Chain A
Amino acid sequence: MDNSENTVSQPLLNTAADNARSLIIVLAIMSFLAALALLFSLSADRLRNNWQGELQRTATVQLLVSSPDLRDAETETALKTLRTVLPSADIAPLGDVKSRELLTPWLGNIDLPEDLPLPVLISVKLEADDMLSPPLIITALGEEGLIAEIDDHSRWSDQIGQSARGLKAAALAILALIFGASIAVSAFATQAALSTQRDVIQVLVQVGAEDGFIAKLFIKQAGLRGLKGSVIGAALGLVAATALSLRTAKDTALLPDLNVNWTDSFYLILMVAGLTLICSAAAGFTTFRLLRRERRRS
């Protein structure tokens, strides 16, 4: 007799008996959708950060000159004050032409009289990490006897923040729904497997297998299938999102473009792990529940 015989155990569950492939396909589709939702939510987040950061770092100071004669002098004082208060910021007057341009949306394309007292506009661009404090600037200018207003774009910034948060919430809700559906799919599949493999289970119970032993078989099986399905889906999702981001980068699309980032793969791996875990857990719970129910019946 060859001693190398029978060294590897055959799987106790009949893998040919149930529809493993369709389950994996369904899980792959769900994982694909989940990956897209996740990548979308991540890039919406990034986009909001970029836009808000940009907006929050720029502001426009409107200087209301007290008389046309003092215009140049007061502008000079204001610039000097601003440079003292915000030493690292990029501060520049917008100039008359630019100021008039900015007024056209409100006043129309009419020729404005030369002596119309236009406010002096000064643009302020902060360094990356600085925060703007409008009251501080107004006080500083006020001490020099200047009257000014500041538009820090906070209205726009808030709106962008709100809609980005909305998009993110929607994407996360979709993600949660997909996870919920995966739990149901795995539970159903386990239930089906338990009934197609009823004979095997009965023999296992008869020879004294503990519930945990039987549950472990299904947990392992469901976990492997969940892993396969979700890896396939996540990989396809990553490919699709990358393709989309390459396409939208060329066109100037209105929609926030999906710009896939390498750190996103980390979240995708987490998602795959999560799907695998819930598939296993659902299979385990289902097995224990059905074994208990079977026992009550006899």
Chain B
Amino acid sequence: MPIINPVSSPVDPLAAKPSAITDVVRFERVGLRYGRGPEILSDVNMRLARGSFTFLTGPSGAGKSTLLKLCYLTLKQSRGLINLFESDISIMSRAEQQATKRRIGVVLQDFRLIEHLSVFENVALPLRVTGEPRETYRQDVMELLQWVGLGHVMEAMPQTLSGGEQQRAAIARAVISKPDLLIADEPTGNVDPVIGRRLLRLFSEMNRMGATVLIATHDINLISEFSADVIRIEDGQLLSGLQNGHAHG
């Protein structure tokens, strides 16, 4: 049964104690339309518990990417309630929204690496925008790059990297700030199955360390190999899960 936190704190999401948080993401009757178009999502109810690992699947055009955008605060819902870290996002100030984004790591299919910045700089970005001095994170960034196997291309420009390397750079950027919520949209779309699996193991690793993970994917084979919740989305509605998963809410 859903555990509803009686006093959800609407203010600073950073002020909330992690241990007190049960739902990292909660959607209640969320609807979304682009402009004056039809509703892409309607009456979506969803809960992602802290520390959960969830696959989001469904046919092309079903609204997977759209739902993820709502989760990483790039889109605003047309109606309904969205709570992130127990805070209603519709009443957050701009500063609170940005603080919330700093707790979310995002990997998109097109990676969104900045072309004129080196791999190191791209990965360091989430730490750099906090205004912290470079010395405090330089070592961490270099270690992470070593760990994902990009130690030799730290100074390289992203466009000189292979697709798989770019993807690892994008993932490194998503996890460098140790986010509480990790979101990936088709992370295995562009890479061969071997790399795809290695990547998912990286996400599991993050999940074991406490991050809540939400991944949109078409790859049924991949889903079957990992024990995780599965949410299926079709015709703008969330359906209960396949195999080992179950949809919340």
Contact = CB atoms under 8 A, between A and B. Distances in A.
Interface of A: 1, 5-7, 9-10, 12, 14, 16-17, 199-200, 202-211, 213, 295, 298
B118 interface: yes
A203 B72 CA distance: 12
A211 B95 CA distance: 8
B141 A208 contact: no
Top 4 A-B pairs, shortest CB-CB distance: A208-B102, A209-B129, A208-B101, A207-B126
Contact of B125 (A1, A6, A203): A203
Interface residues of B, number: 37
Nearest to A13: B116
Contacts of A10: 116-118, 121
Contact of A206 (B74, B120, B154): B74
Nearest to A202: B112
B173 A207 contact: yes
A204 B122 CA distance: 10
Given A206-B112, A208-B129, 5 more contacts: A5-B120, A5-B155, A12-B114, A208-B99, A208-B130
Contacts of A209: 98, 129
17 contacts: A1-B146, A5-B120, A5-B155, A6-B134, A12-B117, A14-B116, A16-B116, A206-B72, A206-B74, A206-B112, A208-B101, A208-B102, A209-B98, A209-B129, A211-B98, A298-B74, A298-B76
B17 interface: no
A12 B128 CA distance: 10
Interface string B55-94: 0000000000000000010111000000000000000001
B101 A7 contact: no
Contacts of A202: 112
Contact of B114 (A5, A200, A211): A200
B120 A6 contact: yes
A199 B141 CA distance: 22
Contacts of A1: 142, 146, 151
Interface in B96-129: 98-102, 106, 112, 114-118, 120-121, 124-126, 128-129
Contact of B98 (A6, A16, A208): A208
B138 interface: yes
